[in-house]
Amino acid sequence: MAFDRVCFIINGLHKFFKLERGQYNMQKSKIKNYENLGNSVCKALNSHGFKARYAATRGAALEAIKELIPVGATVGVSGSVSVREIGAIEALEEKGCKLIHHWKPNLTAEERKQTLLGEFCADWYLTGCNAATKDGTLVNIDGTGNRVAVMSWSTGKIIYVIGINKITGTVDSAIERARNIASPPNAIRTGAVTPCVSLGYCTDCNSPGRICNVFTVIARCPLGREAHVIIVGEELGY
């Protein structure tokens, strides 16, 4: 009986470690595929005039941002969830940069307006991206257009932080992603009163609180801009 019990335990341990090893190998394969995909997109972006790099983790992405932005720089920050998930605001404030971001609570209408203008005129602008295609095109969607305006033309340099979950095949699929994957949770986050808040998908509504008003497709880095793109090998934001 004791021998049978020992055999049972050994067999169970064998199955457990075999399962663990299989899961480990699957995770390694996934990480390697993310790296391959990220580097492919970076290569396409670099050919389009961007300065793109791949960061395997959000920690590596944060280090890249800290390396790029010098002490004392003014940094405008969009409402990006991705930027906040990697801890960029706190890290840059600790470094000695002046952060300008309109998501501070309790701003008056005038203060918010001035903050948006400050973001536009900052030395650097730090933002996420709704979608990026495999061939190096950036697609974004805005309610007021402030974020995409900075992306298109402003006085400073720009850094995009893009999670691997934002990569799509085509511009059409990127727009689809922006509307149906990114926008509904963003509408919930901002307290918008739109059909997508309850339905979970875009209906191309005419609601006063609609956040899908301005689309931009950036096929090449805009003339005169220094634009950095960090593709992160983790899922970030919406």
Tell whether the model's pLDDT for residue 33 goes beyond 80.
yes
151 neighbors 225 (Cβ within 8 angstroms): no
Q: Which pLDDT score is estimated for 7? A: 47
Quote the crossing angle between the two packed helices 88-95 and 58-68, to the nearest 10°: 40
Q: What percent of the chain has pLDDT over 90?
A: 82
pLDDT of 13: 47
Residue 205 is assigned to a structural domain of this protein? yes
| Domain CATH code at residue 121 | 3.40.50.10420
Task: Identify whether 209 is part of a domain.
Answer: yes
- pLDDT tens digits, 161-181: 999 999 999 999 999 999 999
Number of independent structural domains in the chain: 1
Average per-residue pLDDT for the chain: 91
Residue 196 lies inside a defined structural domain of this protein: yes
Please tell me the predicted confidence (pLDDT) of residue 178: 94
Domain of 121? Answer: 2-232
Minimum mean pLDDT range among 17-26, 41-50, 151-160, 169-178: 17-26
Average pLDDT over every residue of 45-74:
98
What's the rounded Cα separation, in Å, for the pair 178 and 121?
A: 26
Sequence-ordered list of residues with C-beta below 8 angstroms from that of 29, at least 6 positions apart, any chain: none
Using one digit for the tens of pLDDT, what is the confidence trace for 65-116?
999 999 999 999 999 999 999 999 999 999 999 999 998 888 899 999 999 9
Residue 73 falls inside a structural domain? yes
Determine phi and psi for 110, rounding to 5 degrees.
Answer: -70, -40
Residues 6+ apart with CB under 8 A from 217: 137, 138, 139, 171, 174
Report the pLDDT value the prediction gives residue 11, as an integer from 0 to 100.
Answer: 64
Rounded to two decimals, the pTM is: 0.87
**Residue 238 falls within a domain, yes or no?**
no
Whether 237 is in a domain gets the answer no
Pairing of strands 214-218, 138-142: antiparallel
pLDDT over 80 (residue 226): yes
pLDDT at 15: 55
Helix (H, G, I), strand (E, B) or coil at 49: coil
